Chains A and B, each alone.
Chain A
Amino acid sequence: MFELIQGWLQRPNYIAFVLLFLWGIYIMVTRYNLVKKLIGMYLMQTSVIFFLVTTSAKRGATVPILLSTTEAIQPEVYTNPLPHVLTLTAIVVGVATLGVSLALADAIYKKYGSLDEEDILKRLE
């Protein structure tokens, strides 16, 4: 048990990811305000991005740009570039989703005069 917890504490970045992910879901589920739901959604997306980046981290490694073009490439000197590339794309996707969702929330507000889900559902009846 002690070793398990010790193992967890040695990876604080993964704990941070789990907390952020669950926190995002918690906000999405419990808040009635549509914009707060979107904040939760964005937090969850960001936590997944954080997870991707954290898998590429390496102690004592540098950015994946070749230090020298003449010497042989040493892979252990560089962090893994691929998760960063995935992250870039995932950020773009997340921003596009946020744009569409804010446009929808804006249209809902103009139509129903409220952002509270309970109010809106009452008016839908």
Chain B
Amino acid sequence: MTRHLPAIIFLLPLSLAICLPLIGIKHREWCRPMAFAVIAGMVLVSIANLVGVLQTGTIHYAFGGWAAPIGIEWVADGLASVMIVALSLLALICVIFISSVLFPNLGSRIVPFYTLVLLLVGSLVGMIFAGDLFNLFVFLEVSALCAYALVGLAGGKALVAGFRYLILGTFGASLYLLGVGYLYAETGTLNMADLAERIPLLVTSKAIAVGVLFMFIGLGIKMALVPLHGWLPDAYTYAPDRVTPLLASLVTKVALYGWIRIMFWVLGAQAVIYQIPILFLVGVLGAMAALIGAFLALSQKEIKRMFAYGGLSHIGLILVGMSLGNQTGFAGGVFYLLNDAVMQAGLFFWAGAIIHLYGVRTIEDLVRLRGGPGWMSAALVVMAMSMIGIPPTGGFFGKWYIILGAVEAQNYLAIAAVLIATLLTLAYFLKLFERVFRDRSAQQPPLMREVPLAVRISLGATSVAIIVLGLMSDHIVNFLLKTAVPPGL
């Protein structure tokens, strides 16, 4: 039974996404509870899957019974199972937030809306489990298509932002597919484990080098690595407030996970392209992304846009951790990735809630929060502490392990990049805090509105999760070191 759990996790959201348009014709109000129930079921199955993987080792699921190099394989190893648990928990919280009464009624569009959300979650599961490069491409495109449609749902400026996202995203996907084609032409296989055996024999091949670069640029566009991030700020700023947390916390992170999978499990940590170690390349780009993202966040006036740039900087930090080439750095990077997913979800919950409760869109408007419910500010403080990296939050320990890894690798530039990014993050959150807590110039009466239950649950859950991740960091990192470290590191 345990053997089939990876497929079940994927089939749960997919089958409901297929059935929902039929059910929705008659019973529109069923969409919300059914989506919630299915994703709650996903959480349970994914935890069972994690336990099963820990007990019996990596699960290789062969679809249709065709064995690995020829058939389609899904691999549920330690890292993938941990990611799936995080993904389904975050999806659950996001679905609670989506159903809040805060947002305008979607009317009949609620049925396609929930279909897209479920399809997005399902395709992300597929990306995490995918055991061959082409499967990764297919799920990458399915998730991206859902994301384009969800961004465009808000209408107005979001349509243009969604269109730009689509053009750039498709360009990235085409480059990725081209890279896969190069690798296939050179090695004759698409299976990741099979490729990992054949690529070391072909290190001097130009086709492998170019193919890997194409794949990296393609996934770089999808994960919004800084020089390739053009679509992200607009898309996240204008996307409907209810789906931004889902997109921000999951879509870019899973694309990043795809690259980690290829970098460590297919190419190997020691891979070198034309005398340039690939980890070095990724580390330099990550450090650049961490600094430039934080700088750009500092100069933003809109809150959602500022958080979007903050997310770009964190993608860079995760890549810095990955690029250190030792186990501590890798575990720190994965731990920071989990944290960042929670933080991005929490920040965009907060930003969406204050837009709809108090009409606060820019940093100037934040004065209106004064006199509002104290725990809205408290949630912001927790999230900000984690973004900056102040103990006892998860963000602190993530950066801590990344720096430990950098010390181990004697990579002082990486330490400098992490510290400067931290200072810049502190600077842009101080800008927010100054408005919320210190500014006494404007004397607007605060707008008092009851905070809906769904918003309270989702904000509370992410804040608690950040603290718990921080307090449990020791156990989680040790666990990752034991179960999720790639071979050869």
Q: In this assembly, does A77 line the interface, its C-beta being within 8 Å of a C-beta of chain B?
A: no
Do A28 and B167 touch (CB < 8 A)? yes
For the complex formed, measure the closest distance between the CB of B219 and the CB atoms of chain A, giving whole angstroms: 15
Tell me the count of chain B residues lying within 8 A, CB to CB, of chain A: 27
Do B174 and A104 touch (CB < 8 A)? no
CA distance A55 to B134 in the complex (A): 16
Using known A-B contacts A55-B184, A89-B138, A96-B145, determine if residue A107 contacts B167 with beta carbons closer than 8 Å.
no
A105, closest chain B residue (CB): B163
Q: 1/0 per position for A6-33, CB-CB distance to B under 8 A?
A: 0000000000000001000100100000
- Quick one: which of A100, A104, A111, A121 has the most chain B CB within 10 A? A104
The answer, among A41, A90, A96, A124, for a CB contact under 8 Å with B157, is A124
The answer, among B149, B155, B173, for a CB contact under 8 Å with A111, is B155
Interface residues of B in 171-193 (CB under 8 A from A): 171, 173-174, 177-178, 181, 184-185, 190
Do A93 and B178 touch (CB < 8 A)? no
Do A100 and B157 touch (CB < 8 A)? no
Q: 1/0 per position for B121-163, CB-CB distance to A under 8 A?
A: 0000000000000100110010001001100100111011011
Contacts of A104 in B (CB 8 A): 148, 152, 159, 162-163, 166
Contacts of A83 in B (CB 8 A): 181, 184
Do A55 and B145 touch (CB < 8 A)? no
For the complex formed, measure the closest distance between the CB of B484 and the CB atoms of chain A, giving whole angstroms: 30
Using known A-B contacts A45-B170, A100-B148, A101-B166, determine if residue A90 contacts B155 with beta carbons closer than 8 Å.
no
A93, closest chain B residue (CB): B141
Using known A-B contacts A55-B181, A55-B184, A86-B134, determine if residue A111 contacts B170 with beta carbons closer than 8 Å.
no
For the complex formed, measure the closest distance between the CB of A46 and the CB atoms of chain B, giving whole angstroms: 10
Do A44 and B174 touch (CB < 8 A)? yes
CA distance A83 to B189 in the complex (A): 11
The answer, among B134, B170, B177, B190, for a CB contact under 8 Å with A41, is B170
A46, closest chain B residue (CB): B174
Q: List 9 A-B contacts (CB under 8 A).
A: A48-B178, A51-B181, A83-B184, A97-B145, A100-B149, A101-B166, A101-B167, A108-B160, A124-B157
Nearest 5 Cβ contacts at the A-B interface: A93-B141, A55-B185, A108-B159, A104-B163, A48-B178
Beyond the given A41-B170, A97-B141, A105-B163, please list 16 additional residue pairs across the A-B interface where CB-CB is below 8 A: A28-B171, A41-B171, A48-B178, A55-B184, A55-B185, A93-B141, A97-B166, A100-B166, A101-B166, A104-B159, A107-B152, A108-B160, A108-B163, A111-B155, A120-B160, A124-B157
Listed in ascending order, the chain A residues whose CB lies under 8 Å from chain B are 21, 25, 28, 34, 37, 41, 44-45, 48, 51-52, 55, 82-83, 86, 89-90, 93, 96-97, 100-101, 103-105, 107-108, 111, 120-121, 124
